[in-house]
Structure 1
């Protein structure tokens, strides 16, 4: 199974919220950073701006009840697709 990673925070997903074609966002929100797919990660600039604000706020989980025990931000950030750094 191919993994998909949030363009803002690097959280891994089994299914792309950008659809099978990679161009049709479902406008759901990332469970970790809260970025709305198709809006907050629409391009490199919007992803970087959202990431900067999220990190400045302390990188809180959008859905705190889904935060894995032992979660490490430093391990997740390198998963951000290279085109969105």
Structure 2
């Protein structure tokens, strides 16, 4: 089960890294986007860290993080 789901339902948390909000971005009335579609667009646009609090951890590496969830750039 994806980390943004609990008991099969979205948690509405906002990812500090990319800004995806399960239950909002993937359930938008006009243009719903899966986490995979959102992530691809985020990476294509430079994968800027979304949150100012917390800020991006020192030494954080996008490729390493994506590999942990089975995604290759």
Unpaired segments ≥5 residues, structure 2:
28-32
- Using the size of structure 1 for normalisation, the TM-score is 0.59
> TM-score if structure 2 supplies the norm length?
0.67
Runs ≥4 residues deviating over 3 A = 39-42
Q: Which of 64, 68, 71 is the matching residue for 1:79?
A: 68
C-alpha RMSD of matched pairs (Å): 2.6
1 or 2 for the larger relative contact order (CA 8 Å, sep ≥6)? Answer: 1
Unaligned runs of 5+ in 1: 8-15
Task: Select the structure of larger CA radius of gyration.
Answer: 2
Give the paired residue count.
Answer: 65
